[in-house]
Structures are given as C-alpha cells and as structure tokens.
C-alpha cells in the first residue's frame, strides 16, 4: 500500500546509498530513552557475561581499558527514522570479550544499568560486528547517549546498542527484551525495516 | 544479573499496522502548530500516550516518514494529532501549512507500549500521575489527562506544563475543561518567555523550586510522565531523582528521539 500524497514534493532528493529505507539524515544526535539517564561512575562500573553453566566473566573499567581498543567508523540508524553516517567510536570488540567464554547458547540478553534489556543474537555480536563503546567523536560518551559505556551494534537499529550496558546473559532461545516487549521488532534489521512487530 | 531492578511491564496494546487516514479537519492550534483530525480506516484504537508514523510520498516515489504523538485515545477510528512546525522541517511544514480536509495520508500505528497510561477500570494501576510537559511535548500527556477524565478515574492527576507564552498553549480550552471536570486534575503552567498579565511569577525557564512546588511529592509514589525536548527532559528527570522519585517511576519521551 502506497500512494502519492497530494502536494508533497519533499526536499531530500539526493538519496544516499548508505541510508536504509524510511530513514532521514540528521546532523545532531537525538536521544531515545524510556526513562531518566542513570549516573554511573566508572569506579563502580562492571561488565559481566554470564553463561548457561553459571560462569561469570567480569571486567571492571580498568580491565576493559587494558584490552585491545578499536577505532570504529560506522553509520547508525534509529528506529525513529533518523540516521547518522560515518560516526566515530572507540571501544572493545565483543570478539575480544568472548574469547574465553564457553557457551552453546545462540542468543543473548543485554542488561543495562537502570534495568532495561534488549535481546541480540550472538551471531550479531561477533565477527567484528559489535563493541562495548566508550568514546564518541573523540570524547568520552555522554551519559544521555549511554555513557560511560554502551553496546554498539551498528548493523541493527540503534535501540539494540544498549545504553549503560552492564552485561550479557546467554539464552537458549530468543526472548524479547524491554524494548521488544514494548513494540519493537525482535531483531531490528534497518535494511529490512524491521521496526515494529 | 538477577539484581537488576525490574522495569514495570506494560499491558497489551492494539497491534500496529499500515492504514489510510483521511484528513477530516485541520485547525490552527498555536501560532506554530496545527491540529489534524484523521479518520483512519481500520484503526484498532489506541491507548493514551501512543504515537504513530506518518509517511508522505512524492510523485517520483520519494518518501519521508516521521513519528507523531497521538492526542486522542480509545476504541474509535478518529485520531487527533497536533503538529508543531519545525522551521527547517521537511514534513511538519507540509502537515501544518499544506494539508487540508479530504487529503489522504499513510499512517503506521499505534506504536509504543511503555509511555502509556490507562485508567484503573482498564487494567491501569491506581497510582497518582504527574505529567510534565515542555512545549509540544504536551500532546501525549493531554491524551492521558483526557482519558483520565473520560474514565472518571479517581486517581489524582497533575499536569505541569512549561510553555513559551500563553499563545503557545496547546489544547487550552480542553485543559480548562479538564480542570473543571469531576476526575481530580490540576494544571500548573510555567511561562518561559511571556506570562499573562498579572501572573504571579515572571517568565523564565522552569526551576527546581517550581517543579518541587507543583509536582506530586515522591512520598505519594506517583507515576511520572515527562515529555519535551531532550534538554528539558534530562533536566526535569534529574531534578525528580534529586527530589526522591524512584527512577523506575519516571517515564520519558524526547523530541528528536521519537
């Protein structure tokens, strides 16, 4: 179903191939959050991966900073129709964090400070596709954008890049997190416009 | 991470889908905003606080999609929007200036299941509600206040509404009627640029003191809905936490993010 809207001409005629369907380029960095921005001190920060055996792999801030840090330049796409192209981040690849993790489960639930959750398949986190990011545009990540550290999974809609991330719990089956229970798609591929269920 | 606080879960909302909306009526809401009343074919109804996407298509197939909060709620297929014209916008100037009755638009919704209030008679919790709006952020909060009055819901409701001038108040007549309705509702206005003649306080940005004076105290455990610009929401939400509100009781929606 699609029809021409009487009188609408639009402005952004030059389509950029990097822009998924239904997205609009923005210059600023809008904020999408369901609640207040939590105040997290890096001295108290911890990130934990928990597997089906009950094993917990944890890193505090200093331990995270001691891992190989990667520069990432990537496009990001929010479900609310804005995109930014060529954004610059620094972070630690999930490949690095999963090196010593033994799991047969194929799904994860990302948990954030503040209690929010989002589900991400493990395949979407590995092979250079996801990071724990703590710098944006050369500056420490602002709290309102998820600082001190957020998940960065730029090939999926940006709500999957959980702000204020504190851990991943391995799951046998794909289960909806907070955003997905509240109407967002289980996977969220922007090129397929997987916005809502 | 079993110690994670539990975010309140939400009740089910109607399933989202694409619909054809026919503009039934447009009217000027404020000097910069229009009210659009849409008859949406097959609309499943919506809860107060939900939003929808509007998709416009040009003759060459170019499309532009934006999200708008819904000012109405209930089972009907009449959906009310109030759209603020952004000076550099692509979609909002079209909706505010060019759209007229009889035009057809594509809409997708209803969307969102968290920034939602429902009356106690419809599965909601019997907790007082504090609404805090900055500018056009009042739209989904007005829907909640109207739903509260329509349900004759006995839980206390308050709306703290920060707005530039008296001319910029959305739903001015409706809000006055809500204040006079039987369901307990109180409206507190804060003017940032120009206040009405004889207004007790000079215009200015909202202060923590004004928030504390006008908001339901944290001890009463209200659910708080905050909607406005990112700067407004960040400031108000951090004050609310300083004033003792549990972060999990504060639900936010920010312009640009929606």
**Smallest Cα distance from A160 to chain B, Å:** 15
Alpha carbon A73 to its chain centroid, in Å, reads 14
For residue A90, what pLDDT is reported?
98
Q: What is the mean pLDDT of residues A42-58?
A: 98
Q: Which helix (H) or strand (E) holds B232?
A: helix B230-242
Residue with tokens 């429902």: B118
Give the mean model confidence (pLDDT) for residues B39-44: 97
Residue A131, domain CATH: 3.90.420.10
Select the CATH number that applies to the domain covering B120-254 from these four: 3.40.50.80, 1.10.1610.10, 3.40.50.280, 1.10.10.10. Answer: 3.40.50.80
Give the closest-approach CA distance of A185 to chain B in angstroms.
12
Interval B51-69: pLDDT, tens: 999 999 999 989 999 999 9
What is the rounded distance in angstroms from the CA atom of residue B93 to the CA atom of residue B97?
6
Phi first, then psi, for residue A154 (nearest 5°) are: -70, -15
Confidence of residue B133 (pLDDT cuts 50, 70, 90): very high
Is the ipTM higher than 0.90? The answer is no
In a domain, A31, yes or no: no
User: Can you give the residue ranges of every domain in chain B?
Assistant: 17-111, 120-254
Query: Cβ separation of A5 and B252 shorter than 8 Å?
Result: no
> Are residues A132 and A152 in contact, defined by beta-carbon separation less than 8 angstroms?
yes
Chain A residue closest in CA terms to B226 = A35
Residues of B in contact with A48 (CB under 8 A): 1
* Entry pTM: 0.92
Q: pLDDT by residue (tens digit) across B99-127?
A: 999 999 999 999 998 999 998 777 777 89
Is A66 within the bounds of a domain?
yes
Q: Is A137 helix (H, G, I), strand (E, B) or coil?
A: coil
Mean pLDDT, rounded, of chain A: 95
Spell A5-44 as b/e; 16+ CB within 10 A means b: beebebeeeeeeeebeebbbeeeebbbbbbbbbbebebee
pLDDT, residue B256, reads 58
Mutation test of the interface with chain B: which of A2, A5, A22, choosing the one with the most B Cβ atoms within 10 A?
A: A5
Domain annotation covers residue A106:
yes
- In the three-class reduction of DSSP (H, G, I as helix; E, B as strand; rest coil), residue B53 is classed as strand
- Residue A15 within a domain: no
User: Nearest CB to A182: which of B59, B62, B112?
Assistant: B112
Residues of chain B contacting A37 with CB distance shorter than 8 Å: 234, 237-238
* Domain region containing A118: 44-192
Q: Is residue A96 part of a domain?
A: yes
Assign domain B17-111 one CATH number from 3.40.630.10, 2.40.30.10, 1.10.1200.10, 3.40.50.10860.
2.40.30.10
The alpha-carbon gap from A50 to the nearest alpha carbon of chain B, in Å, equals: 8
A183 interaction partners in chain B (CB closer than 8 Å): 13, 16, 111-113
The closest of B99, B241, B1 to A115, measured between CA atoms, is B1
Q: Do B64 and A24 touch (CB under 8 A)?
A: yes
**% chain B with pLDDT above 70:** 94
A9, closest residue in chain B (CA to CA) = B58
Distance from CA of B119 to the nearest CA of A (A): 19
Collapsing DSSP to helix, strand or coil, B189 comes out as strand
CA B207 to chain CA centroid, nearest Å? 21
Bridge partners, residue B25, by sequence: B37
pLDDT at residue B9 is higher than 70: no
DSSP string, A61-104: HHHHHTS--EEEEEEEE-TTSEEEEEEEEEEEEHHHHTTT----
Asked if residue A32 belongs to a domain, the reply is no
What proportion of chain A, given as a percentage, has pLDDT over 90? 87
Reply yes or no on whether the pLDDT at B5 is more than 80.
no
């Amino acid at each position: 179903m699609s029809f021409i809207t009487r009188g609408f001409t639009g402005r952004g005629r030059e389509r950029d191939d990097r822009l998924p369907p239904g997205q609009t380029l923005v210059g600023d960095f809008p904020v999408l959050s369901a609640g207040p921005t939590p105040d997290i001190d890096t001295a108290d920060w911890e990130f934990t991966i928990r597997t089906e055996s009950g094993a917990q792999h944890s890193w505090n801030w200093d331990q995270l900073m001691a891992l190989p840090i990667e520069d990432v330049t990537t496009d990001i796409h929010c479900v609310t129709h804005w995109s930014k192209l060529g954004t610059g981040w620094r972070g630690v690849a999930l490949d690095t964090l999963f090196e010593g993790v033994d799991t047969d489960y194929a799904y994860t639930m990302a948990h954030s400070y503040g209690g929010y959750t989002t589900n991400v398949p493990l395949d979407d986190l590995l092979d250079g596709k996801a990071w724990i990011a703590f710098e944006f545009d050369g500056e420490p990540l602002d709290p309102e954008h998820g600082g001190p550290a957020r998940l960065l999974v730029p090939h999926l809609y940006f709500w999957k890049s959980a702000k204020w991330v504190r851990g991943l719990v391995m799951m046998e089956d794909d289960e909806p997190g907070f955003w997905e229970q509240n109407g967002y798609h289980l996977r969220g591929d922007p090129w397929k416009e997987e916005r809502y269920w | 991470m079993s110690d994670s606080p539990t975010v309140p879960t939400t009740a089910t909302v109607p399933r989202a889908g694409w619909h054809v909306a026919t503009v039934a009526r447009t009217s000027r809401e404020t000097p910069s905003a229009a009210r659009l009343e849409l008859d949406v074919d097959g609309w499943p109804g919506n809860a107060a606080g939900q939003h929808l996407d509007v998709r416009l298509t040009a003759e060459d197939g170019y499309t532009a999609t934006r999200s708008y909060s819904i000012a109405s709620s209930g089972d009907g297929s009449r959906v009310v929007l109030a759209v603020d014209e952004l000076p550099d916008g692509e979609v909002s100037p079209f909706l505010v200036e060019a759209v007229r009755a009889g035009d057809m638009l594509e809409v997708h919704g209803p969307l969102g299941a968290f920034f939602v209030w429902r009356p106690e008679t419809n599965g909601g919790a019997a907790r007082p509600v504090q609404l805090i709006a900055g500018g056009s952020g009042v739209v989904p909060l007005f829907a909640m206040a109207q739903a509260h009055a329509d349900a004759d819901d006995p839980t206390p409701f308050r709306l703290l509404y920060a707005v530039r001038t008296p001319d910029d108040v959305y739903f001015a007549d409706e809000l006055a009627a809500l204040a006079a309705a039987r369901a307990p509702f109180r409206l507190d206005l804060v003017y940032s640029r120009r206040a009405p003649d004889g207004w007790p306080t000079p215009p200015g940005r909202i202060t923590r003191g004004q928030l504390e004076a006008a908001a339901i105290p944290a001890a009463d455990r209200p659910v708080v809905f905050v909607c406005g610009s990112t700067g407004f929401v960040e400031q108000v939400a951090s004050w609310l936490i300083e004033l003792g509100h549990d972060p999990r009781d504060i639900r936010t929606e920010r312009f640009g993010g929606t």
